[in-house]
Structure formats: C-alpha cells, structure tokens
C-alpha cells in the first residue's frame, strides 16, 4: 500500500518586473488570484493544506469531490479560487477564507474551484525530482477537468503572448517555470512571476480614526512587514474598504488592542500621534503602485485579510 508524504510545502516564485530574455526555456502559466493549497488525496479523502501548514479542508467542503476524481493516491499543488463572471475574484473568496464550517447559503453564493497545476506524488512514487514537463504530463493524465477541479493550461515559451492574454482577461499576471526545473518544497525560485498589479502581504499594527462620514469607523490601517531589524512601518492604507469591511475589521482588532507602539523602527510622528495600536497578529494584503525611496507603499489599496498567512513570515516580497 502506498503512503503519501506527511507534508510538502509549496514551492514559491520570485517576483520579476519583466519577462526574461530566454522565455522560450520556460513553461508559462496564468497566475490565479486565490489561496495556494497542497491537496493530499487518498482512499477518497482530501486534505487541503495552506502555505502556513494549516488544514483548510473544512472551509472548502465542495473540494472533497476531488477524492472521487482520482483513483490513486496523489499530492497536488494548486490554487483555490472563486470566480465572478468567469474571472477570479479575491473579494468573493474573502467571504470563504475565515469560515471553518460554511453554511449552504454561503456555499451557493461563493462556490470555489481548485486549479491543480502540479503533481508532486503519485501512488508510491515522488515526482519532486522530475522536470516540470514530466510532472505536467503526469498531471494531465489524471484528466481533472470538471467542476470543481480543473487542470489549467500551460504554454512552452511565448511568455509575452501569455502575459498579454492575462492582461486582456483581467488576471493577476503569469508564472514562468523552467522546463527542466525540479520541485523544491518550501524554496523560492527558480520559478518566476510577472504581475500586472503589485501585491504585498502586510501586518496590521494599528489603525487611525476616520473623518467625515467615516468618523465612527476606521480611517486607515497602520501597516508593517518584518525585516532583519524587526517589525518595520511601511505605510497606511485607507482605500479599498466598504463600511461593512471596516466594521468587521474593528471587531477583529478590538481584542488585540495594546498601549504601546509594536514597531521596531520609527513611525512618522503624524501617524503615531493618532494611532490606536494593536498586537501585530492579523495579516492582510494590499495592491500598490511601487515602493518609495523611504521604503513605504505608494498608493496602497486594501484587498483583504489573509488568515492563511503567518505574521512572522510577512516580509517584502523579494525581486
């Protein structure tokens, strides 16, 4: 009887701001705006593990259908996504991410899919040392192409055309994987990703009061990331919220209130003067234009909380 590995941490991609000159040596995939999940399938059972080693299976019960689609033990790497008008909608997925036992109404309002893009283990054989092309060929043999599980396409070379298609479809960007690359669990690179919009995971370290019609709500969140010197201030975000999101955030932050500043680096005086500090435990994600010369996020916009991420692992995404 085969035995699946207990835990395979997902391999990560390095952010690039342009395509490589040798893009014909890469396999190109569309980048899906969702939650990364490694799926363990055996004897009809499905376990979904997050990047931070959390079991997410109960949050996405419709994906247990995967257990009936594969008649052999496998470990898959992929992305959980929620679609709106045929495109991944991270905001819609947010309504599912923190719910451990979703009700039928929520399952109907925000159904999810699993896009499997890599095969890491099959029966009693590890595929980690196989090249990308061999793993993709083995994955396609499983014929996972019926809701809620699909194997998205990939293209050998032609990165510019794939990137253009991702822009046309309103997607996040592309991922390039060297054709001969093995799967290195927990490592970042040699896979690369090229994004149409920049995203950054952040830690919520405090909030400032709103003004005007938002006088009784949060005005902005005070954000940080970790570096070699500890928790570093990277700016405030005050856009991308609805009133309901702000009320939910206020409820989540209230029990985390603390008296002192949690940062290990200097916070601008204007921010520190009005900030209400909280324990740096909640992880979120923002979209932004670029990093400033001072190391702050330029024009950040809130995308949502990331309960699948651990705060101590939040750092500036390497380029």
Q: Summarize pLDDT for 27-37 with one digit per residue, the tens.
A: 999 999 899 99
pLDDT of residue 137: 98
Q: Which of 308, 286, 318 is nearest to 51 (CA)?
A: 308
Q: Do 116 and 173 reside in the same domain of the chain?
A: no
pLDDT of residue 1: 44
Number of domains in the chain: 3
Please check whether residue 3 lies inside any domain of the structure: no
Q: Do 138 and 170 reside in the same domain of the chain?
A: no
271 pLDDT above the threshold of 90: yes
Q: Do 134 and 224 reside in the same domain of the chain?
A: no
Please check whether residue 129 lies inside any domain of the structure: yes
Please check whether residue 137 lies inside any domain of the structure: yes
Residue span of the structural domain in which 17 resides: 9-26+159-196
Q: Do 47 and 136 reside in the same domain of the chain?
A: yes
Q: Do 146 and 166 reside in the same domain of the chain?
A: no
Cβ count near 213 (within 10 Å) = 8
Q: 38-75: per-residue pLDDT in tens? A: 999 999 999 999 998 999 999 999 999 999 999 999 99
Query: What pLDDT band is residue 279 in, cutting at 50, 70 and 90?
Result: very high
CA–CA separation, 262 and 226 (whole Å): 12
Q: Do 54 and 94 reside in the same domain of the chain?
A: yes
pLDDT of residue 319: 66
CATH number reported for the structural domain that contains residue 88 in this entry: 3.30.470.30
Question: What residues are annotated to the active site?
Answer: 31
Q: Do 191 and 288 reside in the same domain of the chain?
A: no
Please check whether residue 62 lies inside any domain of the structure: yes
Q: Do 163 and 22 reside in the same domain of the chain?
A: yes
pLDDT of residue 293: 86
Q: Do 103 and 64 reside in the same domain of the chain?
A: yes
| Averaged pLDDT score across all residues of the chain | 94
Q: 77-97: per-residue pLDDT in tens? A: 999 999 998 889 988 998 998
Q: 216-267: per-residue pLDDT in tens? A: 899 999 999 999 999 999 999 999 999 999 999 999 999 999 999 999 999 9
Query: What pLDDT band is residue 196 in, cutting at 50, 70 and 90?
Result: confident
Distances (CA, A) of 37 to 155, 267, 309, 312: 22, 35, 12, 20
Please check whether residue 80 lies inside any domain of the structure: yes
Query: Which pair of tokens denotes residue 273?
Result: 């003067």
Please check whether residue 1 lies inside any domain of the structure: no
Q: What is the mean pLDDT of residues 111-120?
A: 98
Q: Do 18 and 120 reside in the same domain of the chain?
A: no
Q: Do 192 and 223 reside in the same domain of the chain?
A: no
Cβ count near 175 (within 10 Å) = 22
Q: Do 172 and 221 reside in the same domain of the chain?
A: no
Q: What is the mean pLDDT of residues 198-217?
A: 92
């Amino acid at each position: 009887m085969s035995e699946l590995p207990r835990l395979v941490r997902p391999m990560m991609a390095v952010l690039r701001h342009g395509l490589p000159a040798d893009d014909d040596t890469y396999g190109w995939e569309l980048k899906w705006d969702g939650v990364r999940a490694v799926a363990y399938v055996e004897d009809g059972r499905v376990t979904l593990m997050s990047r931070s080693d959390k079991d997410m299976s109960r949050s996405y019960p419709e994906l247990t259908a995967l257990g009936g689609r594969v008649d052999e033990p496998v470990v898959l790497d992929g992305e959980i996504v929620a679609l709106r008008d045929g495109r991944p909608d991270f905001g819609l997925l947010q309504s599912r991410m923190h719910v451990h036992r979703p009700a039928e109404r929520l399952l109907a309002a925000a159904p999810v899919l699993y896009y499997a893009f890599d095969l890491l283990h099959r029966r009693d054989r590890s595929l980690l040392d196989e090249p990308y092309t061999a793993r993709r060929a083995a994955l396609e043999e499983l014929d996972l192409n019926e809701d809620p599980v699909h194997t998205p396409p990939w293209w050998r070379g032609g990165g510019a055309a794939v990137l253009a298609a991702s822009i046309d479809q309103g997607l996040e960007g592309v991922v390039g994987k060297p054709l001969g690359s093995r799967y290195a669990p927990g490592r970042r690179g040699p896979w690369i990703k090229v994004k149409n919009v920049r995203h950054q995971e952040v830690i919520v370290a405090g909030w400032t009061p709103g003004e005007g019609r938002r006088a009784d709500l949060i005005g902005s969140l005070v954000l940080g990331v970790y570096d070699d010197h500890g928790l570093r201030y990277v700016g405030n975000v005050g856009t991308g919220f609805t009133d309901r999101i702000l009320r939910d955030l206020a409820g989540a932050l209230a029990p985390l209130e603390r008296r002192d500043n949690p940062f290990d680096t200097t916070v601008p005086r204007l921010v520190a003067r009005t900030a209400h500090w909280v324990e740096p435990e909640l992880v979120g994600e923002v979209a932004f234009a670029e990093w400033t010369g001072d190391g702050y996020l330029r024009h950040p916009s809130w995308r949502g909380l990331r309960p699948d991420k651990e705060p101590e692992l939040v750092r500036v995404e390497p380029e």
